[in-house]
Structure 1
């Protein structure tokens, strides 16, 4: 029996896909090993949002070479779709699977031999049209369920449409089937994930075009027995409708927690980024949420150092984020990506200034989360504790995403506990 080990770079969507690939190989007779152990096959599911993800992939391959020089190394994911030939030239890589071939991993491994010359299996991204549902299980307490893939937006900094293809979705019926299966495994919380989650609904059934909506999906999920919590992972502000916000506000199962990408608080930069909204719409969405759910946690994605971001534009972003009622920030430092419009934009922000701005906003994020948490001191909220034990401690999250840490108690794993903050 062959052994296989997986490593995931990037987003929650990648984690859900890696978990599904792992189950597929286990069904095919492979034995799963920890990535730090010696295995016959190593699979790296890559991201390519930043240059660091590319470098990290190369470093991991070198580590595998030192640990298990005879092992097969397979690269899949976004980096594999964007730069398959470049990856195939990395010493030690035996197989590169693009977006259309990722879920055919088991079949490819049947014929794979070390030093195989036919390494690359990737097609043009326009040819990728199918949707393959996936979810994580047994890897984390919270399950990440992929309901949508691809993106029809063309933001000037982003390679994801080139790596993932057009927007397409599972059907509501398909999502419900997966959720019911997860409920049978004892899953307590499901995080809905996608590349452009709010665009859920595009797809085909038997060759016929299917049109459903994200609002219809959340309505259907709220009626499922056996799942205690749902979270919406990340949703574009222009797709976060009043009806979705109002539904979450009265839902017993959807948590008061939104993650809404902003990217910049400057309308000038948002225009250059080719985003489909301006800061005024973003502020309106936050105000709507907070009016209905003052206790709601709101996370923000923001990019610093985009071409043309001078001191004035960065101050606009800082002031906007400082004043608006959000809870934490995910701060990304802009990095140039081939085949994007932004790569030719001027003026270029020096790297050291990008890094300084990243630190400024990460500090602001810390202050925001401390303040948001302090508003709930003394309250009792339900915490779902996770399975991982770290130095005798365990972590959990409230409904509104405040992190709680306490001494590890096995009987609390995957349980909802009333906790006084």
Structure 2
């Protein structure tokens, strides 16, 4: 077998001629070639029946505030988390809409990630710089992405503030250059720490100096976070309210006041290396040192779906992570496995399973949003309402609609209150989690 493979390891002219002849002898393929060249594959492959069938009508819906916009930043996980929390402020204060400051959390997330990165560098001084682990750590130390537990860490340590208290800046909405400069500074810091043969105490003093530079940079990019502020608003009845000298943590306690530790991350990763009913964590994945570690409970997709449905029926939105770029259209907001018929357009099979897509790098969690509705027919959901954070223009006024089949294939994580879990699943949460490598697909950040 090896000898045969070696004999045929190059592309011959005869092979190319055969492929070319096969293509030329199929008139339908040439027609499709011209259509795709002119219009692009998505326009040609789109199944026009899909957007028609994916109505924006749902049997169960939660009233939400106005659609938010993360703009040119990767803060979807943060927007989704704050969009779930703002519902409590809207209800408590009897408001039409309300928005919490995403910039405030962005500042503290970057600062905490910088410390997490530098601590990880100090913990891997015995590793070679070109080792897989150190290379992974150096790749993107302060990227915009995050996970649910990372969001909880920020809220519990720093509280929340209304958006007007720390509004968006140029670089909170367009983060690429800021991230590039912060990363350059942290890589410089890593080089200094790894080059020194100093005591632990001296290394930590050097780390603090690097963090001082990062703090100053973040203040220049994002502004300095407030320690105290006044909260003024008019409710639905136009009654004026003023609450003075609040801290971010007292604001959370007074106007939101939920126990975020009651919420857990449930995933569906149907790969052989991740048995269902087990818990998982990911090495070197986090933001706040001393905060919550990533913790997943892996279950079957039908069970995960039931939990999402229970929480929506309890009139509470569901934070979720998915692979948004798969079989979805930004303009219509449709997320449906039947949206594009690539196989017919290209005359080739595309048959990876969900597990194979994870194992072979074809899919992973890329975006976080919020489920705010569902359409149930004969006891089963057939489509889900999705609150996105891309502004009001995509989809229908900023909302997307997800088919139940899309949920099966590209939904990877939901966050639900533990009260919705069966006793068996609640007991499963108590297991010692299996540690996944940092580059595992379930270590991806939304």
TM-score range, shorter chain: under 0.3
Q: Which has the larger radius of gyration?
A: 2
Greater strand share, structure number: 1
Higher relative contact order (CA 8 A, sep 6+): 2
TM-score w.r.t. length of structure 1:
0.25
